[in-house]
Every structure is written in structure tokens, then in C-alpha cells.
Amino acid sequence: MRGTVLYGPGDVRFEERATPTIVDPTDAIIRLSATCVCGSDLWPYRGLNAASEPSPMGHEYCGIVEEAGRAVKTVTRGQFVVGSFAASDNTCPHCRAGYHTSCAHRQWVVGAQAPVLRVPLADGTLVATPDVPSAELVPGFLAVSDVLGTGWFAADAANVKPGATVVVVGDGAVGLLGVLAARQMGAQRIIAMSRHDKRQELAREFGATDIVTERGDAGVDRIIDMTHGVGADSVLECVGTQESMMQAIHAARPGGYVSYVGVPHGVQLDGQQLFFEHVHLHGGPAPVRRYLSELIDLVLNGKINPGKVFDLTLPLDQVAEGYRAMDERRAIKALLRP
């Protein structure tokens, strides 16, 4: 088969690779219905993570089980499955506590920007739909596997409650789906921070009640002003930079909650400053597995349509254009069809 490999900054190649096969008896082999480019793929693409050797890319996926290892019990050949970017056993103490991305047996899933993928720990990682879904639901399920799961965790970790005032920092796919999650959790006011027309429009469609275009201190001043000097109950930080993190912390009210789900790059927090902020901080790689069944149901029943974040669809062999379009912010998120 041919799959996606990042050789260095800006150098994405779609090239011949070995077709994955069962390695451990707990593995499953999936033929992908769709895959995509993640915002986090852009960090190494931009040279901001040192890549020492060519790396197979992609960790968002859904598709049909082609083969299940002999120890796999919960999924079988022919089923449509959704999994997360972290394989987990779903049985260890961390999984049972809902922190599957800290699973004692965690393995990162790599190489999903390809037609075929090996998923380790299939029983703990994959959730099957009742039937093979129609093609129009596939983008929604693909979103579940990472961006929606991450946006959902962002809202959950920020303790979004019915009636809450919520701020979402970041208008990438995760931030936009954080808006959708906050709406589903009953937030009353959802303020999306965005300066792009197309993204503002989608934020509103997903449930944002207000848009703030200012950034940094000016953005914080606007939030404080809009909340009558109080600050937000819940703030979702969906970027991972120093500016976005400080913006999130300063936008929260004393006693408020800040979640952070963007991989931090160069973020430094000052202990004394944090002490006087009086905020709850909770983040990390989203334990998407915790939410899979619930989110699959919401998509299946047409309650939500997270697949709308894919505003560019390309054949998989044009994956390099998907990276370019996202890097240049011409696309929110690129869906790739094998």
C-alpha cells in the first residue's frame, strides 16, 4: 500500500509502505473509510517538533475491521469501528478512572493517513457501531475519533454545567467542537474567540452565542467586560501557546475552570501568579475512549453533526495538499478518502 510519511518540515510524502498485519494477538487491522490531518500534525510539519527520522503520520480513523487477532473478543471482521489516537486496554486503574490516554499499556496509534491501519489492544480501543453506517455519517464518526472527543474532554474538564458562561480559546477544529460540546452540556452563554469569518460562522452554528475577535490582554478585557467584571465559569484552551494559555487563565473567574487540550509548546506558568488566579487547571491528551460510545450514539441519532468541521475533502494521495491547506489556514480540517 501507499501511506503518508513526514520527512521534515513541509516535506509530506505519500509513498510505498508495508501493509500492516497482525503483530500481537490483541491487534486488529482496519480498512479505513476516511482519515484526516490533525492540527497536532502541523507542529512537526512546521518544524516545531524535531523529527529525527521519517515518521508515518495520522492517528484519526474509522473503518471496517479486516482482520482481528486471535485474542480479540469484542470486534469482528466486517464491523465498522471508531477508535482513538491512543490504544488502551480499558481495564487498568487509569482507564477505569477515565484516563485512557494514561493507560498502563498505552500505545500511540500512528500511520492512519493510509488505507490500512493496525490498531493495538483492539478490545480496549475500538468501539463498533450497530451496523455499517451510511457514507454521509462517516465524517461525523471520523471527527469522534479525535477532534470531537478532544473538544468534548475540553468541555468536560472545564466543568461545563447547565447555565454556565463558557469561553473557548482557539477556532481550530477542536475549539469549534468544544463549542458544540459546551452547547450539548447545557452552557447558556458560549463566547468563541475567533477572527476568521468562516470559523465564526461554524462556531455560531455549533452553538456560540458571542464572538470575540480580540486576542491576548485585549481579548481578556473584552471577556471581563462581557461578564460584568466577573470572568467565565469555564474556559477551554484549545491552542497550546503561551498567549492562548494566559488568555484562558485570565478569562476565568476566581474559582473557575480552565481546561487545556492543545499540546503545549513553550508554555511557562508562573507559580505565584497561578496561586492568585484561583482557577482549576485540568488538561492533557484527551481520553477520547471515555466518550466514544456516547459520541457514536449522538452522531448515529443525528443529534450532532461534527463532520461539518471538514471543509476540505481530498483523495488520500493528495495528503500533502491537505497539510498545506491547513498550515495556510485555507482549510479548517482536511478529510482524506483512501
**Which residues of the shown chain bind Zn ion in the complex (CB under 5 A)?**
88-89, 92, 95, 103
Closer residue to Zn ion (CB): 95 or 174: 95
Q: How many CA atoms lie within 13 A of 21 on its CB side?
A: 1
Closer residue to Zn ion (CB): 120 or 256: 120
CB of 35 to Zn ion, least distance (A): 25
CB of 22 to Zn ion, least distance (A): 21
Q: Is the dihedral of CA 43, 53, 319, 119 positive or negative?
A: negative
CB of 95 to Zn ion, least distance (A): 3
- Structural element, H or E, at residue 256: strand 252-260
CB of 270 to Zn ion, least distance (A): 34
Closer residue to Zn ion (CB): 87 or 314: 87
CB of 84 to Zn ion, least distance (A): 12
Cα–Cα distances in angstroms (integers) from residue 176 to residues 95, 148, 305, in the given order: 27, 9, 12
Closer residue to Zn ion (CB): 118 or 290: 290
End-to-end CA separation in angstroms for the chain: 11
Query: How many residues can be counted in the chain?
Result: 338
Say which residues have a Cβ less than 8 Å from residue 224's Cβ, sequence separation at least 6.
230, 231, 251
φ, ψ for residue 191, nearest 5 deg:
-100, 115
Closer residue to Zn ion (CB): 114 or 121: 121
Closest CA to 54 of 44, 66, 64: 44
